[in-house]
Amino acid sequence: MSEAPLMPKATAVWLVENTSLTFDQVAEFCKLHPLEVKGIADGEVAAGIKGHDPITSGQLLREEIERGEKNKNYNLRIAPPKVRLPPPKKTRGARYTPLSRRQDRPNAILWLVRNHPELKDAQIMRLVGTTKTTLQAIRDRTHWNSSTLTPMDPVTLALCTQIDLDFEVNKAAKDRPATADDRGQTLAPAEATTSRARPATEEEVFGSSSKGRGGDDEDDVDLTSVFSNLRGGRHEDDED
């Protein structure tokens, strides 16, 4: 369904007076009832309304009128606008808080201040729909009801959605400067991973004293007596 022209009745008056279009064609273009267009032609409707030229205003082309006059079944089409206007930006107004929930806003503000200190005042004001004066009073503990306030989650109180809360928290986290804890775990220096402590004593190397190194508590072997016995055995063999 096409759009109606500006000032449809005034446009219908001009088309009835200046063209040979049928009542149905004029009614279809101006989005009026055919009987209403017939009443305009008879002077019973829109008396005293001055006709509006749709060609001058750029809403209808003269070629369209000529096509309609030649073909009584042709439906006129409104001319496309010469200037394209950008769509209006959707702006979020102040959040409306029901009357039954307004008494819980200080509790929600206190919860946000304690659990999300990174949030800015403007973000808290958007989430729960409060004023800067009330927010500052809760921060400074000068609110008239500070002694009885209890921190409560604004999502649980239906003052905002979880999506809105997560969006504001993530936005505040991005704006916050990075700290040492945010950089994650780093690798240890090469000197700390490649260097080894040198053992100070023999026990640190073998885990026990040299006497128990082999697993038995035997006395040390006298190497001198062993070699002398070997030499004596060799001399006896040579004499034989």
**Rounded Cα distance, 60 and 83, in Å:** 15
d(CA 110, CA 149) in angstroms, rounded, equals 8
Q: What pLDDT sits at residue 24? A: 93
What is d(CA 106, CA 128) in angstroms, rounded to the nearest whole number?
A: 9
Q: Which residues in the chain show pLDDT less than 50? A: 1, 210-218
pTM of the model: 0.38
HSE on the CB side for 185, CA within 13 Å?
A: 2
pLDDT at 215: 47
The number of angstroms, rounded, from the C-alpha of 113 to the middle of its chain's C-alpha atoms is 21
Count of Cβ atoms closer than 10 Å to residue 189 Cβ: 9
What share of the chain has pLDDT > 70, as a percent? 66
